[in-house]
Amino acid sequence: MTRMQYPELRMRRLRATHKLRDMVRETSLSVNDFIYPLFVKEGIDAPEEIRSMPDQYQYPPKDIVEAAREAQALGIPAVMMFGIPELKDEVATSALDDNGITQNAIRAIKEDLGDRLMVIGDVCLCEYMSHGHCGIVENGEILNDVTLELYGRVAVSYARAGADMVAPSGMMDGQVGAIRHALDKAGYGHIPIMAYSAKQSSNFYGPFRDAAESAPSFGDRRGYQMDFANKEEAIRETLLDIQEGADIIMVKPALAYLDMIQSVRTEFRMPTAAYNVSGEFSMVKAAAANGWIDEKKVALEILTAIKRAGAEMIITYHAKDAAKWLKE
């Protein structure tokens, strides 16, 4: 092929009009790309705005179906459920209760919306633990293998409630295999697993810990979440999850980890999700509130970049707004 250069080649020709730019656009964002996180909380009577996440709410059980209906009406195909129980203890009792806050919310949404909305259960224990860590703690140490048995029981409980998918996020070694085994043994071999495969020990999670009321009461999570400096480790973690039975792999956070999204998608050719996390969302909201950026344009640019990097699914708090913007 003969190489053309300026002035024969003029790249601006294909940028001349809106329609022409649309025709040659390589990455197109769609509402079908979005998964919307929902928080349901015991002990409240009305939705409560999350102080560090403008326009995002903790919902009481009586309002969670309406919140899910709103997402579904906008064309969003899936929600991810996070529950905040009144009872928190050192063995995550509330997470294992078939009539727990998350299980009841899943059941109510599925009874109302059926196959019109997918419900994904986030499998972790931090919201249910009095100490805020993602596993059983003994003498200040998070115990990996003991925790796996609990993860399996939680996943089965969510499946029994009607969850369409489970998403283990605790970053315990072997969690995907333990959950796959538990689901299969309980007769839920059809339930897919979206694995938080490359979940970083990130500083972008702060607002989520307000939302889920899950901040650790001691130490931090660097002993089980990944060092954000390590891309090769992310690939190894992802490979292990695939070998253990993950159906979808995930990178979390997204915005500062576009290279990891691209790497795992290219390496494994697996369905890939990315979590556009609370800190990424709240930075946009804060800058927009100060008039420093255009919220709509910046949010859509970020979401497009995440998809361009290789994510087919984007878990994002922008989902409802983005669904509306894409219709304009």
User: What is the distance, to the nearest Å, from the Cα of residue 263 to the centroid of all Cα atoms in its chain?
Assistant: 19
Cβ neighbours of residue 21 under 8 Å, at least 6 residues apart?
14, 15
Distances (CA, A) of 294 to 207, 291, 305, 318: 21, 7, 16, 14
Cβ-contact 252, 196 below 8 angstroms = yes
Task: Cite the active site residues.
Answer: 199, 252
Cβ-contact 134, 151 below 8 angstroms = no
Quick one: which of 214, 202, 194 has its CA closest to 252? Answer: 202
Distances (CA, A) of 158 to 18, 76, 88, 146: 46, 21, 18, 19
User: What is the distance, to the nearest Å, from the Cα of residue 316 to the centroid of all Cα atoms in its chain?
Assistant: 7
| Helix and strand element counts for the chain (H, E) | 11, 12
